[in-house]
Chains A and B, each alone.
Chain A
Amino acid sequence: MPTNLTPAEVERIATLARLELTPEETALFSQQLGAILSYFEDLRRADTTDVAPTAQIAGVEASALRQDASRPSLERDVLLREAPDVDLDAGLFTVPRVIGS
């Protein structure tokens, strides 16, 4: 298990996380992430044979499922209000071109 991550590993994770890191950040994270991941190695000391994982406490089990019925939602123009780029007439969020060029 890692003590330092290689810059290539940091870049691979950054791509998965959709983060464009600067070279300085990549260098810093190689060290820091390695140290944090090494700290997690402590968990190996615990015997977890036949121990079920806990993903969530109480809540989900405790509350009944709601009826699968449609309910009013926020208006489209309210939801478009905070977007950085929209086509108000079409009622759409605008992003850089995805298909073709």
Chain B
Amino acid sequence: MRPGADASEIRASVSSGGISAVDVCARALDSIARLDPSVHAFHEVTGEQARRCAADLDRGARPRDAALLGVPIAIKDNICTTTSATTACSRVLEGYVAPYDATVIQRLTRAGAVVVGKTNCDEFAMGSSTENSAFGPTRNPWALDRTPGGSSGGSAAAVASGMVPVALGSDTGGSIRQPAALCGVIGLKPTYGRVSRFGLIAFASSFDQIGPITRTARDAADLLGVIAGHDPQDATSADVPVPDYRAALTGDVRGLRVGVPRHLLATGVEADIATAFDRALDELKEAGAIVKDVTLPHADLAIAVYYLIGNAEASSNLARYDGVRYGLRAEAGTTHEMYARTRDRGFGAEVKRRIMIGTYVLSAGYYDAYYLKAQQVRTLIRRDYEQAFADVDVVAMPTSPTAAFRLGERAANPIQMYLSDVFTVSANLAGLPAISIPCGLTAARLPAALQLTARPFDEATLLRVADTIERRTPWATERPPIFAS
């Protein structure tokens, strides 16, 4: 098995007895030990648990044809695990060990995957740079003075640097796709309801989805196939059959209609990103796809809708951190003071800012003007996409308007940071599946990425396009200089 192998190669080697799961695990832990001191992709590496899990696999704990047999995987630290702490990278949950495994963890375990650790993220997944982690930022493997994006920046950096072949992230407004874009890997946000949220620490419950971060379309297909499907533990999980995603990887996009909302791309997109985006569209045209213009009339309001509704839901979800049942407690004479002091000490600045905004827009006298209005505009944004999909099969945009930015560059200005999410939030508002696919490098050798959004439950088409691009271009094989080898 070659160094830096992808999940499908690892699984094939372990299944056929070419390499043991223990050896695969040891190689992953070695590359983490070598690279992570400079990248800080991991909040916690769970080497001992991983080695034990791999040894069990070598003793036949799972069938030889298990979908992810022996594949090392990194898990964003807002997904609950019983074998190590889950903190959402917040002081308020430091050291917290969940009493149950998230459904996705149970499914990964059944499929023979080996969890090697929990990855760094923005606190409670609130951010676009991983700088809001209470435990320090992650660095972009392509340029260590830049952010990997966020909030799943640790997961994207771990995959991009080759420490692990695959990882799970969560995406509330772009938190899988934007870091995948900035790190040059694939990131897929599934349709709302496609993957169970049971055991995902809630941020904005009507937007949150868990999804794969990988280097190849095939690995994304395999990982999605394992984690997708109905779960009675999540009332919003959809009872829709899971197709064979590998079967979608035909390399054939002839006749596929790709819609481009040119009106959104006129300003604010870096020149190198715009060039890479157009090159990706040309590639799809050469492969037989039909590229045409579409209009999303309300898309320019998406960021306002997203931050209004998202923060309202967050202020409600984060009310549970009160120092009573788990996590940090600050001592005080009365319960009210204890709650307020615990929350002031436990939450970082961005989390407090969002709780404050959410509380304000939900408070008496402001509800109709803000929250109700945003929910109505959310309906208009959904309708824009329904109309677009009457005419095209996927909608294409750059994932991020810029390449990876420098650490600290946007930290002082919350609104400037929020604008990083301009192309990604709509998919969450409309509950649609969307993928970020690498499409070459800028002049400064930073990754650029194409984002495609599809109809509900049509992840297969997104994976088919990603696979087609992978077959036709060298973009998916670009690696950062530090890549594990």
Contact = CB atoms under 8 A, between A and B. Distances in A.
Interface of A: 1, 10, 13-22, 25, 29, 32-33, 35-37, 39-40, 42-46, 48, 51-60, 62-64, 66, 74, 78-79, 81-85, 93, 95-98
B212 interface: no
Contacts, number: 185
B415 A18 contact: no
Contacts of A85: 329
Contact of A81 (B99, B235, B356, B415): B99
- Decide if the interface of chain B is mainly helix, strand, loop or mixed: helix
B360 to A, nearest CB: 5
B136 to A, nearest CB: 21
Interface of B: 96-97, 99-100, 191-193, 206, 230, 232, 235-240, 298, 300-301, 304-305, 307-308, 315, 319, 322-329, 332-341, 343-344, 347, 349, 352-353, 355-357, 359-361, 363, 369-370, 372-380, 382, 414-415, 429-431, 456
- In the A-B complex, the 5 residue pairs with the smallest Cβ-Cβ separation, listed nearest first, are A57-B431, A59-B236, A53-B375, A84-B329, A20-B340
A66 B232 contact: yes
Given A16-B363, A36-B415, A62 B325 contact: no
Nearest to A65: B235
Contacts of B339: 18
Contacts of B304: 39-40, 42-43
Contacts of B335: 95-96, 98
A93 B329 CA distance: 12
A96 B353 CA distance: 27
A53 B380 CA distance: 9
B308 A17 contact: no
B353 A32 contact: yes
Given A33-B356, A42-B301, 12 more contacts: A17-B315, A20-B343, A40-B374, A44-B373, A52-B376, A58-B191, A62-B240, A63-B236, A63-B239, A82-B99, A93-B324, A95-B338
Contacts of A51: 376-377, 379-380
Contacts of B206: 55-57
Given A48-B373, A74-B99, A20 B357 contact: no
Contacts of A58: 191-193, 238, 431, 456
27 contacts: A17-B355, A17-B356, A18-B322, A19-B343, A19-B344, A20-B344, A21-B344, A33-B353, A33-B357, A35-B414, A40-B304, A40-B307, A40-B308, A40-B370, A43-B370, A46-B377, A51-B376, A53-B379, A54-B378, A57-B431, A58-B191, A59-B193, A82-B97, A82-B326, A84-B323, A84-B324, A96-B338
A36 B307 contact: yes
Nearest to B344: A20
A73 to B, nearest CB: 10
B3 to A, nearest CB: 40
B122 to A, nearest CB: 17
Given A18-B340, A19-B355, A46-B380, A56 B315 contact: no
Contact of B357 (A21, A37, A43, A64): A37
Contacts of A42: 300-301, 304
A84 B339 CA distance: 13
A60 B301 contact: no
B236 A60 contact: yes
Which of the listed residues A1, A37, A81 has the most CB atoms from chain B within 10 Å of its own CB? A37
A36 B357 contact: yes
Nearest to A45: B301
Contacts of B240: 62
Contacts of B377: 43, 46, 48, 51
A90 B398 CA distance: 57
A19 B379 contact: no
B216 to A, nearest CB: 29
B343 A56 contact: no
Contacts of A66: 232, 235
